[in-house]
Structure 1
């Protein structure tokens, strides 16, 4: 009996050690995978604040909380099981799906560039709501739908980075990435949307330096929001283009990645210092150019299809 108990305890200890090793492995892999998804994370953080614009300041944090819960459900209840099934039964589909997501990111980034240069408005007009609760629910639903697309890309990037690991480690990595990114993104978003309120509170303080900082926060928030939007657009183009370039290399079209790599190495070698930074910047720029080209072509096609659909409606008075 004691020997049986001792053997059982040994087995439990071995399982616990294996689990701890797997957790350490998963944590390291999650950090690496999360870093590769950083561009999409920036875009996620840049997109979300617009969903609380025009609503009561008292409802901003509750709304962000609802979106965060929806985002967590997207990642853990929908995307994580789907990713593991994909890894187990159709690993060949990971790269094509990544490239499809990369094309979508490039398209979204190109649309924002077109808007910035006065080429139209991508966002549809908001529906009028008499009920503030209905408006809030609509904004939350829209944010969660957008998050599902961005979260799918984040999870796909993470899965692609650990596709050769055991299924248990894959699941742990995706769960860690999903949880950490959701907490990080929506924590930052909550801080961003309340920054002006924090500034107003500080501006009413008794300390002159504190009041100055508060006024600076209030005046600076429009600049910060604009900068975040710009960074988000650049991130979409850079990440989308990078995914497409890497995917093309996987399928045998090696020359785009080789051209970008050779240019980055040449620039880094020509500089007396800051070579690694310059190499990264040139690589990101090259990926961004690919994103602009592919996204621009897709945007033109989508706009042309939209124009063709509107023409019959304009010609048919009954359509109005």
Structure 2
């Protein structure tokens, strides 16, 4: 069974919509361009997707992305499986990080066959496929020269599970230890650099042991040229079923004992207060950035890449202590304590 999911969706450049799809251990880039007639399958997808983006309708945008993905998979599954076969059922060794973040790439155009009115995929340049050996990450995270952290090659890090979130975030094995790995890209380099700086400050502070923030454990180096492209953190085990992996997953707050919710709220408040004492701000504070430890039932704060989320922290207050205070207050309201 092939594993596939959307890595990114982009639009623009003459209304073109492009999907980047992970297909097993390869990356499939598919371009949807407007047709001369304006009444094809891709024209409908482009119009609806761009309308959702312009309206700021995240749910509609996600729904259209999924519909486009379904049409691409239906038209290209056979070709994709030939180019990037699914892993063997008895494969016991997890794929190394290098092969997953620097995969082979294949590029196609999504077209509507005028005779059959069915979707089809056309390899670019009229070749069997356009293949690139590596996806070029053109950035490097400048690490603090005073910090002494172990460095792990992308070829020595093995991915156990891809985790949800922007960029490449995964549960991995590095140095025989389970960790959380975060690798950025050109668009997210500044955000990941901020997170690295925050975690370095936390790790060398007087509150390092007391802060419920996943500890910084190492750096990720590209195997080919030694550039620092990511970081490794303590992995916080959460619910295997995602029912309570983060506070945002709570379906009914009232179904959780008030004493338990009060404990979580107090822990979040204490953690943010300690962060402020060492000059670190949370940034994008929200329920989705609070993990619930599966074994201890304590809550841990994650994601110091800044940013902001409607309904939690405004763009103007993102990355400020005032913004963090607003986020904590809203989490208290969310938990009804």
Which TM-score applies when normalising by structure 2? 0.23
The structure with more helix, counted as a fraction of residues: 1
Q: Which has the larger radius of gyration?
A: 1
Q: Relative to total residues, which structure has the larger strand share, 1 or 2?
A: 2
TM-score normalised by L of structure 1: 0.24
